[in-house]
Amino acid sequence: MRALILGGTADASLLAVEIARAGIDAIYSYGGRTRAPADQPLPTRIGGFGGVSGLADYIRSERITHVIDATHPFAAEMSRNAVAACAQTDTPLIALERAPWLKTPGDNWTDVADVNAAVATLPETPANVFLAIGRQHIAPFATKPQHSYTLRFVDPPEAPLPFAADVIVSRGPFTLDSELEMMRTRGIAWIVARNSGGDGARAKIDAARMLGLPAIMISRPELPERRRVESVTDVMQWLGHSTRLGE
């Protein structure tokens, strides 16, 4: 058995620990989005594969027998490529994907389909807005420059921002107290988030509810059908289950 973990999330890091502990031959893969990704207890590769064909070639050349897609729910292109490349190479694939956050009483959410819908949902009157959606998808907010924006990136911005904004540089995970403190100090009136699920970024959602703030929640992209579990244990069972004796 030789597993490829498409990683880059807290869940993928937890899986890597279990796979290393089980002594399974595996490779951990980052997309190369951040300057200093967290170390892993497995051999690690960083950077794209070169689309579906690049991933299929990698699977063949590295003799990968199992692929675990433990990327983020918004890493749609990687997930789609994994489905296609595993079909092409007839390689077993499983997705480790956390459940979306569910609205609870007291949440003041507006669910929107994408970033452009999120921009449209912001009011016209100027407000303090916290964009907790990273760095790659903020450009559309330039059409509403009247707001005072707070952004949060993993790494310091390299290029000029498409609109005036204050940038917090932090990789998370984030605590409820630090989110409450930040939102109160900055007088945040709106937050924009993606429905990432998981615990690593949930604190801002709980803080918004406690402060009675409206949250614009961007729904996840559609992904192709694939085997999907929500726990590291289920992945380990799948790995154990799908090996034949002597493999």
Rule CB under 6 A: which residues touch ligand NAP?
Answer: 6-9, 29-31, 33, 48-51, 54-55, 71-72, 74-78, 81, 134
Half-sphere exposure of 143 (CA within 13 A, CB side): 10
Check residue 135 for interaction with ligand 3Y8 (CB under 6 A). Answer: yes
- Asked if 133 interacts with ligand 3Y8 (CB under 6 A), we say yes
Q: Kindly report the CA angle at 228 between 224 and 232, in degrees rounded to 5?
A: 145
Among 204, 207, 208, 216, binds ligand 3Y8 (CB under 6 A): 204
Q: Rank residues 16 and 75 by Cβ distance to ligand NAP and give the closer one.
A: 75
218 contacts 114 by C-beta, under 8 angstroms = yes
Contact call for residue 136 and ligand 3Y8 (CB under 6 A): yes
Q: Where do we find the tokens 């609205």?
A: 103
Residue closer to ligand 3Y8, measured from CB, 32 or 240: 32
Q: What's CA 206's distance to the chain center, in Å?
A: 18
Q: Confirm or reject binding of residue 215 to ligand 3Y8 (CB under 6 A).
A: no
Nearest CB to ligand NAP, comparing residues 73 and 189: 73
Task: Give the residue among 230, 224, 219, 209 at the shortest CA–CA distance from 74.
Answer: 219
Tell me if 6 sits within 8 A of 78, measured CB to CB: yes
Rg (alpha carbons) of the chain, rounded to whole number: 20
Which residues, listed in sequence order, are joined to residue 5 by a DSSP beta bridge? 28, 68
Residues within window 23-62 making contact with ligand 3Y8, judged by CB under 6 A? 30-34, 37-38
x-marked contacts with ligand 3Y8 along 155-184 as a string, rule CB under 6 A: x---------------xxxx----------
Give the range of 103-111, 130-138, 140-148, 209-217 binding ligand 3Y8 by CB under 6 A: 130-138
CA dihedral 93, 171, 188, 102 (to 10 degrees): 20
144 binds, options ligand 3Y8, ligand NAP, none, Cβ within 5 to 8 A by partner type: none
Among 3, 4, 5, 13, which residue sits at the site for ligand 3Y8 (rule: CB under 6 A)?
13
In contact, 112 and 121? CB cutoff 8 Å: yes
The two most distant CA atoms of the chain are separated, in Å, by 66
Closest CB to ligand NAP among residues 150, 189: 150
Amino acid at 164: A
Binding of residue 115 to ligand 3Y8 (CB under 6 A) = no
Binding of residue 92 to ligand 3Y8 (CB under 6 A)? no
Query: Could you tell me the two tokens for 193?
Result: 């988030």
Which positions lie near ligand 3Y8, rule CB under 6 A?
8-10, 13, 30-34, 37-38, 132-137, 152-155, 171-174, 194, 196, 198, 200-201, 204
